[in-house]
């Protein structure tokens, strides 16, 4: 006989565990030194509870299948939550051909939209290239890509997440926002 209540409990316990695991891993990678360990305490408690439910009932393979389904859906939901939170920053490198009218306007458009842009030149296979380095909150990542492509569709874009940021345009802007938010 199938115990629906037990299956639902197994599913949701493992779903909660894996979702928390995904978020805790993200917080660990972003350097949240207090929140990540606290979340791991809850996570491991839920994990042990769910695993013990399945191990005590291995006579029914549906329990194991339900556990695996909760795991898979928990990962999917954890990734979606992480995308929505979009904590941290991305560093975007844009490489432009220098034989275009758009080359000079892209840094100007980006700066007008509040992005800090460092501009330099490099040498590519087909000649000189303009290289732009742009720091952006992850929350505005897609907007930034659309803005770049709108101005120069041939732009070569690479992005990564910096671990440490200090000084420059962006740090001053963040400090100014923090200072203004603490005023009564």
User: 140 and 103 in one domain?
Assistant: yes
Domain residue limits at 140: 89-164
pTM above 0.85, yes or no: no
Asked if 132 and 119 count as a contact pair (C-beta separation under 8 A), the reply is yes
pLDDT (tens digit per residue) in 59-69: 888 988 998 99
CB-side neighbour CA atoms (13 Å) of 162: 14
Q: Which residues contact 58 (CB under 8 A, 6 or more apart)?
A: 64
User: 156 and 106 in one domain?
Assistant: yes
- Residue at 60 is within a domain: yes
pLDDT (tens digit per residue) in 120-135: 999 988 888 999 999 9
Query: In this structure, what CATH number is given to the domain that contains residue 146?
Result: 3.30.70.120
């Amino acid at each position: 006989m199938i115990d629906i209540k037990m299956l639902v409990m197994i599913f949701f316990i493992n779903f909660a565990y894996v979702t928390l695991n995904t978020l805790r891993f993200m917080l660990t990678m972003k350097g949240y030194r207090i929140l990540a360990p606290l979340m791991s305490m809850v996570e491991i408690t839920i994990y042990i509870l769910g695993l013990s439910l399945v191990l005590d009932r291995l006579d029914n393979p549906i329990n194991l299948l339900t556990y695996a389904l909760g795991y898979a859906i928990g990962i999917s939901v954890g990734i979606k939550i992480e995308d929505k939170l979009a904590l941290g920053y991305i560093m975007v490198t844009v490489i432009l051909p220098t034989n275009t009218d758009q080359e000079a306007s892209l840094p100007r458009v980006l700066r007008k939209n509040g992005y800090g842009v460092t501009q330099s030149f490099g040498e590519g296979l087909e000649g000189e290239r303009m290289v732009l380095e742009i720091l952006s909150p992850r929350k505005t990542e897609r907007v930034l890509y659309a803005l770049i492509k709108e101005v120069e569709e041939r732009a070569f874009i690479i992005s990564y997440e910096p671990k440490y940021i200090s000084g420059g345009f962006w740090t001053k802007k963040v400090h100014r926002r923090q200072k203004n938010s603490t005023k009564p």
